[in-house]
Each structure stands twice: as structure tokens, then as C-alpha cells.
Structure 1
Amino acid sequence: MDLAEIPVLSLETERDRLSPLIGDSFRTFGFAMIRDHGIDPDLIERAWDLTRQFFALPVETKMKYFNPGQGGARGYTPFRTEVAKGATEKDLKEFWHIGRDLPEGSTLAGTMPPNVWPEEIDGFRETFTRLYEQFDKTGAEILAAIAVDLGLDAHWFDPAIEDGNSVMRLLHYPPVAEGAGGAIRAGAHEDINLITLLLGAQEAGLELLGKNGQWLTVAPPEGAMVINIGDMLQRLTNHVLPSTTHRVRNPSGDRARYSRYSMPFFLHLRSDFRFETLPECISADNPDRYPESITADDYLQERLKEIGLKS
């Protein structure tokens, strides 16, 4: 398997020239890698420990936190629930979702349910509340760099993501058992949201679909974060920034006996944000693909049905 030659950029030392560098990486791969991202490494280590503790709980304990009517929005989603759009086999994964705590009386409460927290794991709520806040901050910095690269004001995205419906996912891919058939850990898909910030991709398995139709391995160095464009940003930019197909393949040999953990942060728009294609991304060669208007929440609900999380 060929390696995706994605440059590793620094949010700290390359901040002044980050916009064109990250823009070029996204246009080439739909992906970027960022080191010096500012998220506390001790907090990350604590989060991994608590993630492993939670998924080691008995299934009946985890199922206390599953609400089938919420489409996986908060709490636990059981093994083999989600399916990639257009796929027939459900993914070999289970996950936990943490969302934003909205201010009292927020008009967005109808589209963003409150968080639930496992009683069995000490420090779970405190740790992941802090980590969510740090992901949120880093994501906003990345979006500022993207905005400048697109010819927008650096703060263009600020009101669009204020109280946005962003979700942090704790992912567990159990050891791959014999008899999995054609199922893989995560089938080929594109993300729904604006951008995804991913920790935990050091364990092999993440691959992106190159422009030549070949799968390429994504292998970030230790401590680096993988970032990819989601369908919402692709739509907003009229495909100037592509949402790239990716997957998590099954391990081979001895690695099949081990679990894989990862932690994506799906950065979303406000639920009431209305899509209007950016004029900077419309040209004679690239006419507006999306003249119709739709809210971010309407778009999200359509996609959740496509991937089996809502009926």
C-alpha cells in the first residue's frame, strides 16, 4: 500500500504561512496533518485511558447509555450499527458521542440533545468536557486558516460555528473475529461535517482514496493530528475543497487480535446555518452546484438516515 505524502504542518511555528500550506494540502488530498496543535498531551493520555475503560465495560452496562431514537447523537452506539453510505455491511465498530453543552434557553436545544455521562468511570465528564473545549479551539484556528486561503476574512467562520453542533466521538474497533465476511472496521465514506480533527491514527488502518483511484495509507507521526474536509465544507466551497473518501481497513496477521481506538472531533456548523455557496468559489469554470438553500440541521438529518443512524 502506497503512503499518502501529506506534509506535516505546525500550528505553532508555521502559523504565519499556514493558510496557503494547508489549503494546498486540502486541495491535493482533502487531508492535512498538524503538529503543535495545542491540545494538552497529558489530557489526551487521560482521555485514552478513560476510553479504554469505558469500552471494556460489559455490553449490558454500555447499553444503558444507548438511545435508539437519537440517531447516535449522544452517548453509546453499539457495535455494527453504522453503515457507510451505499454499503451493505455494517462497520466493525462501537462508539460514544459527546456534544456541546448549550447555554440555558438556547434556541438550538431542539436540535442538540444534552450530554449523558457514564456513572461507572471516574473523571469521564470532567476529562472529556475539557478535551471537547480544546478540540473546539483548535478547530476554530484551522477554519481561520482555511478562510484566509479562500479569500475570506479570518473570522468568517466564527458566527457560523458559534454553538455549533460539533461532536467528539470515542471510537473502538474490537479485534477482528473470523467470520466477519465482507465487513471492515469503517467502510469507504466521506464525513458529513465541515472538518474532522482526528487523534489516534498512528495505529495502522486509515486510508484515503487518491485522485488516481488508489488507496493510500495515512500515517501521521506521533502526536500529530489528521484533519480532513467534510461534505459540508465541500458544499460551501463548491468542491474547491474536496471531501475525500476514506476508510479504516481491517488489520492483517497478529494485529487482527488487537483493538484499535481513535478520537475524531466532527466540527459542525450551527444547526440553523443556511448553506449559500461562497461567491469566491464560483466561476465560469466552476458554476454553482448548489443554488438551493438548506439548513445545516436539515442536511445532517438527511445524511444520518443514509448511514443507518436514523430511520
Structure 2
Amino acid sequence: MLDTPTLAVPPLSLDDEARDPAAFAADLGGSFERFGFAIVSDHGIDPALVDRAWALTKAYFDQPEEVKRSYHIPGGGGARGHTPFGTEIAKDAKLHDLKEFWHVGRELAPGHPFRDHMADNVWPEKPEGFRETMLALYDALDGVGRRLLSAIARHLGLAPDWFDDAVRDGNSVLRLLHYPPIGPDAPGVRAGAHEDINLITLLLGAEEAGLELLDKDGRWLPVKPPEGALVVNVGDMLQRLTNHVLPSTTHRVVNPPVERRGVARYSMPFFLHLRSDFLIETLPETVSADNPDRYPDPITANDYLMQRLREIGLVK
């Protein structure tokens, strides 16, 4: 049974960031410190672009299973292309998630030093316009993410551009998620309780009920953004970097009521990552007598990513 919430993640407007950067940073940071989540409206991403992306996402997943599986890359860790239904499993979970997804990564120039571990994108033959639309959405989300990171830096007492170099050519991924209709007795849930690996996640499509966060008192709170708003959450890399000042909150996507189980659910999270060779080292600003350094041994972003991908079954 779902818990009855008495709290909700407060909505914020990115328009406020332009008017009063310090106040917006305080509000965003406060929401992250309290919930690990924020809801951000007025993000400036063209609604027509988002609508095209939704239509193309649905058209792609409506294709026959054998067509979709032709874009699966065995041994690729799900980094690019198609990941079939029932592949990913939350850390320590018993059952696989009830979802399939497509990954779009960063396009790197020939000869870029990160090409040895950041694979080229895979593109489906159909639907038409898929590549151009998803790359445009990737760039738009990347830009919004950098604005939010600037606000996070302000909140932490860092220079507003502190994250610019840290995420330059980062291994960020746009995930197109499809949760197919499920039967009334389906085992498992659409996405088991987990934390995200990356720096921050920007999510489109949480208007359809199901996303919940685990609050500090142990209750599950539904996350209900206004139409078109972004849900933004702290990932484990940022939690580690900030010594848990900004927490990476456990969240899940629960199955809908029986009467809604015949309806598919779609969402588009953008996992914003650090540069692969960035050394995740606890920020001195977040260490104190009351909050000693939890992570005295630094780790590169790519090593941390590989460690976590093994835990969720995407890398063997």
C-alpha cells in the first residue's frame, strides 16, 4: 500500500535563476538537501521539440521485437542503442525491471581521447527524423543541466562556473524509456528502488503517476510535476562529491492501479555525467567536524561508473 504523503517537492521556476541567481540557488539547493529532488518549470526547452521526441519514442518502441533487438549491442553495457525488456535490475533486487530503453550518448569528434570508452551512437532506420530530434533534445537538456549545475555550485559556495570543466565532454546519456502495459499479476515493478549513478538527472515525463521517492522518515512520496516540468534529482556522483550534503535519494517507479495497467508509460531521463577522467574527490567545503569525509580515497568518474554498472547487471 502506498504511504499517504504530507509533504511534496516544491515547484521552482528556472526563470528565477535569471532574475536572482543567488535566491534560485538557495531554493534549488534547499530542495536537494531536503528531498534529493527538485521540480523545475520554465526550463526553456522547445515544447515542439519535446512533442516530436515523444512521438518518435513511441513510434520506435511500437516496432516489432526483432527489429528493436537488432539494435542491441551484446557486451556494450547498454551504453548505446536498445536494451531489451527485462535486462536491467536494481541493485540488490530479486526481479528485473519491467522496462526497455534506448540510449543516446554524446557525439565526439574523430580522434577525441574519450572515444576509446565512449562508443559511437547507434541509430535506427525508422522512424524518420529520430537521430536529428534526439540529438537536439540531448543538447537542450545538456544546456539546462549546466545552468542547474551553476546554481548548485553557488549553493555550495563555489564559483558559478565550477562544474563547466568537470562536465566538459562528459559521458552523459539520454534514455528513452518504455514501460509496456502489464498484467494484473505482473511480478516485480516497473523500476525497482534505486539511486542514480551520475551527477544529476533531468527527467521529462513524470506526469504519468508512478515515480516515488523515499523520504527521510521512510515513507514513499509521489513525485508529481506540473505538465512539461523537469524532475531533477541528485545522483551518487554528486552525493559523493558533496560528502552527502546533497543526498542521492532512493526512488522507484511503481506499477499503476489495475485499471491503468493496460496503458504504457514513457519517460525521458537525461543522466548528466562528469568528464570520464574527472577525479571525484570530496569537496573541502562539505567536510566538517559534524560531517567528516566519508570518501578519503578518490576515484575517477569512469571507474566509478563501471563499478556501478556491474552492480545493476548492465556490465558483466
TM-score by length of 2: 0.97
Match of 1:251 in 2: 256
- Residue 253 (structure 1) shift: 2.2
> CA–CA distance in 2 between the matches of 1:178 and 1:32?
32
* 1:132-170 deviation digits (Å, cap 9, x = unpaired): 000000000000000000000000000000000000000
* 1:206-249 deviation digits (Å, cap 9, x = unpaired): 00001110101000011111000000000000000000000000
Match of 1:29 in 2: 35
Decide which of 3, 7, 11 is 2:10's aligned counterpart. 7
**How do residues 256-275 of structure 1 correspond to structure 2 at under 5 angstroms?**
256-275=261-280
- Point out where structure 1 has 5 or more consecutive residues left out of the alignment: none
Identity across matched positions, percent: 62
Aligned to 2:125, the other structure's residue is in SS state coil
Aligned to 1:109, the other structure's residue is in SS state helix
> CA–CA distance in 1 between the matches of 2:170 and 2:241?
16
**How do residues 88-237 of structure 1 correspond to structure 2 at under 5 angstroms?**
88-181=94-187, 183-237=188-242
Aligned to 1:108, the other structure's residue is in SS state helix
Match of 2:67 in 1: 61
- Residue 2 (structure 1) shift: 3.1
Aligned to 1:65, the other structure's residue is in SS state coil
AA aligned to 2:274 is: L
TM-score by length of 1: 0.98
AA aligned to 1:303 is: R
- Residue 25 (structure 1) shift: 0.3
Contact 2:203 2:267 survives alignment (8 Å): yes
Runs of 4 or more consecutive aligned structure 1 residues displaced over 4 Å after TM superposition: none
> CA–CA distance in 1 between the matches of 2:240 and 2:200?
12
Decide which of 298, 312, 315 is 1:310's aligned counterpart. 315
- Residue 14 (structure 1) shift: 4.4
> CA–CA distance in 2 between the matches of 1:103 and 1:150?
33
Aligned to 1:184, the other structure's residue is in SS state coil
Aligned to 2:266, the other structure's residue is in SS state strand
> CA–CA distance in 2 between the matches of 1:99 and 1:241?
26
Match of 1:71 in 2: 77
Decide which of 277, 286, 295 is 1:290's aligned counterpart. 295
Aligned to 2:166, the other structure's residue is in SS state helix
Aligned to 1:13, the other structure's residue is in SS state helix
* 1:166-191 deviation digits (Å, cap 9, x = unpaired): 0000000001124422x100000000
- Residue 258 (structure 1) shift: 0.4
Contact 2:88 2:312 survives alignment (8 Å): yes
Contact 1:74 1:97 survives alignment (8 Å): yes
Q: How many residue pairs align between the two structures?
A: 310
> CA–CA distance in 1 between the matches of 2:205 and 2:249?
19
